[in-house]
Structure 1
Amino acid sequence: MTSNTRLRLSSGRSASGVRSMRRLRRMIAVMVRGEYVHATDLAFLEGERSGIDPVIDWPDEDLPSALARLEEMPVRRALAHSNDNRTDAARRLNVNRQLLYAKLKRYGIEVADEKNIEGGEGE
């Protein structure tokens, strides 16, 4: 932790909150992916100290719709990164091809078939 981080963690905390501090450090270690934890990584503590719940701007939709939107994004991204190669996209997503094909059908994602492209050029 940087010195600013230690200072920010210690401000507003009582000396009797040793267990809370240990729990907070474990939580921060999981949340922050970098080698060091910086004071800016602790922005989520501001809402906790002020007693105000942080506002998350999330569209009003049911859980299945939200999960479907969330699931569709990496499928489209994997296809884009693999130049519509479904085998490579499935590998990138760490799923088998049959599952990828089912997702493509579910979300109405059409991928150009290589055989049709080659056959169309010769005509």
Structure 2
Amino acid sequence: MAHPIMFDQADPLLGRLRGLALNFPDAAEKISHGHPAFFTTKVFAYYGGSVKIDGAYQRHEQSALILIEPAEREALLEDDRCYLPAYLGASGWIGLDLTDDTDWTEVEELLDASYRRTAGPRRVAALDSRRR
């Protein structure tokens, strides 16, 4: 059974995240478990997540899930905008709630960090050559 779609294609926050994520070398988008997932060979970001509280899931529909270095992850978990997502949190992922007031420069930096952890050396070199 396929997962139901758990996002609004017209969501402007998804549009902003999509624009940033698809700007990375060879980045593409697919639907994974009902959410947009941005990937090369491996996923480097998801849109939308949840946390499990007392056996029930609390959805964070407008959030970015990213995979960052452990030290940075621990610092971000002290921020009220961040959460440990169900299922993926145990593998090092973190969720960042997005709003109209989001610092999109910060989001782009976090996407960059996640991309670098998942994309492989050839793609990271391509990214670095773009930014010189």
* Normalised-by-shorter TM-score class: under 0.3
Higher relative contact order (CA 8 A, sep 6+): 2
Larger Rg: 1
TM-score under structure 2 length normalisation: 0.24
- Higher strand proportion (structure 1 or 2): 2
TM-score under structure 1 length normalisation: 0.25
- Higher helix proportion (structure 1 or 2): 1
